[in-house]
Amino acid sequence: MNSCSKTHVLDHHFLKVPSHVFEESVESTLKVIQNLTYVITSHLHHHDDHDLDQLSHHHAISDCVDLLGSCTQLLNWSLHGIHDPKGYEQFYGTGDVRSDIRTWFSAALANQATCMEGLKDAKTIVVDNMRSSSVLENNLNELLTKSLINLLNMVQVQQNILFPRSKHYNHVLNRNITEHFRYPNVTVAQDGSGNFTKIMDAVLSAPKHSQRHYVIFVKRGLYREYVDIDSNTWNLVMIGEGRDLTVVTGNRSYGGGWPTYHTATFAVTGQGFIAINMGFENTAEPNNHQAVALRSNSDCSAFYQCKFIGHQDTLYAHSNRQFYKKCRISGTVDFIFGRAKAVFQNCHILSRLNRVEGKNTITANGRNFSESNSGFSFQNCTIFRDSIVKNSVRATTPTYLGRPWGKYSRTIFMQTYMSNIINSEGWMDWEGGTYRLDTLYYGEYKNSGPGSELGGRVKWPGFHVITKSSVASAFTVAEFIQGDSWLPFTMIPYVGGLG
């Protein structure tokens, strides 16, 4: 069964406007996306693979096409949630229609922002031409932003459906998750003993829009390839033999001429993706700046006992609802970043020695608008220096919990052990961007360890020492990512509340 498809009775009480007004607004926004895509693709031309500027230009435009195409899919799903309950139940939703739609509209905003960032980074002529274009009130990009925010404002802020939590779901902790998926559909093995020798070939064998899990078992090995799971490949499960034994590696980087979005060694967009016992790494040198090991745009995606290694921008939690359990994540600058709505539970967060920048930031949440539901929540995690630094045992890099990539950046650490690697101020501003300090939301709740001392923390209006469990509960698995509605079907153990 689709991990995103356990549903309850649908209704339209969550809309602030009549359903026909909502539908008309969605259709109007779809037209804006169509026109914006046309303007951007009109600048797509043949490129010289040896010209880095042309190659970067081509990748940025291609990424935009994919991202805007995903926006179209997300908006169409929202229409299904309104007037096609059967289609919604069968394919798309968790049962909490209000939360689903707000998540999808927020993801569409993230896609649009990524598109424009890529074009800007690639220094293309598209952005300048759009500013002077007479198409759609001279600024399609701004029009799309306003349209998506307008749609979000038509949907009430979520009031979570209470999903039944049976003992079966709570005690999934005691089950061997690999036993549940012990009969893979295909096997990848570099020695030729499986169905495929490359992971991407196995991915391409998976059915499109699958309502059932399609399991790929990847035998131990270092897989030097780039994996991209598209938006039409649903409910893919990838299981390795161990996060240090089955590793996917690459070295694309911004410094190497790739847009950040395109640097990912492993990328997934199709909904319901699950990774278990897998390692993902980007080995680009630190002076090449952004270099993503894994990017997830997948709604209802989950990662269990996985490893993510890189330097700057290691893990790109791009958009939609995501869950990370017992994972190991290491890096230097903004090494967990993006605009997803993600919970990290019982994860090891490791700060690497940074000889380039001299200081590290763990998170960079890019929530740009108050209407967006993006945010990162860390629960029962540990934060240490990465022991990978073998020749310099005492060398550490001052590390901050995060900095605001977006104006409304939102990140919470709760019940987490923080070693003395965490700077006493806790948080860092964005390159002097003090205008974000009263609109962001950074919170800490019942953390422990020498790095959790609150006496020296920043005095920003947007920083909060959370003292009430009722406030902290809003950032738990059950409430923040509606985990009770979809995580039981992944078979990954989790704690829904504060524990």
For residue 436, what are the contacts with CB-CB under 8 A and spacing of at least 6?
Answer: 404, 406, 407, 409, 429, 430, 462
- Where would I find the H helices in 42-139? 52-83, 85-87, 97-121, 126-132
Q: Which residues are catalytic?
A: 334
Beta 246-250 vs 279-282: how paired, if at all? parallel
- 239's tokens: 């299981």
Mean pLDDT of 109-120: 92
CATH of 177-490, one of 2.160.20.10, 3.40.50.150, 3.40.50.20, 1.10.730.10: 2.160.20.10
Q: Which of 226-230, 439-443, 488-492 has the lowest mean pLDDT?
A: 488-492
For residue 245, what are the contacts with CB-CB under 8 A and spacing of at least 6?
Answer: 220, 221, 277, 279
Q: How far is CA 92 from the centre of its chain?
A: 18
Question: Taking 60 as the threshold, does the pLDDT of residue 136 lie above it?
Answer: no
Asked whether the beta carbons of 219 and 186 are under 8 A apart, the reply is no
Fold agreement (19-154, 177-490): no
At 419-428, the pLDDT tens digits run 999 999 999 9
At 322-366, the pLDDT tens digits run 999 999 999 999 999 999 999 999 999 999 999 888 899 999 999
Backbone phi, then psi, for 454, in 5-degree steps?
-95, -10
At 11-21, the pLDDT tens digits run 567 899 998 99
Backbone phi, then psi, for 464, in 5-degree steps?
-130, 130
Distance CA 136, CA 145 (A): 13
Asked whether the beta carbons of 426 and 464 are under 8 A apart, the reply is no
Q: Which of 62-71, 138-147, 444-453 has the lowest mean pLDDT?
A: 138-147
Instruction: Decide: helix, strand or coil at residue 119.
Output: helix
H or E segment to which residue 471 belongs = helix 469-472
| Domain boundaries defined on the chain | 19-154, 177-490
pLDDT for 172 equals 43
Tell me the residue type at 316: Y
Question: Taking 70 as the threshold, does the pLDDT of residue 3 lie above it?
Answer: no
Look at 321 and 62; give whichever has higher pLDDT. Answer: 321
- 228's tokens: 């991209």
Backbone phi, then psi, for 336, in 5-degree steps?
-130, 110
Average pLDDT value over all residues in the chain: 88
- 61's tokens: 């435009």
- For the chain, percent of residues with pLDDT exceeding 90: 71
| Selection from 234, 291, 219, 240 nearest residue 268 by Cα | 234
Query: May I ask the CATH architecture of the domain 19-154?
Result: Up-down Bundle (1.20)
Distance CA 201, CA 212 (A): 20
Asked whether the beta carbons of 378 and 365 are under 8 A apart, the reply is no
Look at 169 and 262; give whichever has higher pLDDT. Answer: 262
At 276-286, the pLDDT tens digits run 999 999 999 99
Distance CA 345, CA 377 (A): 8
| Selection from 60, 57, 78, 58 nearest residue 68 by Cα | 60
Asked whether the beta carbons of 37 and 68 are under 8 A apart, the reply is yes
Distance CA 100, CA 160 (A): 11
H or E segment to which residue 151 belongs = helix 140-154
Mean pLDDT of 442-450: 98
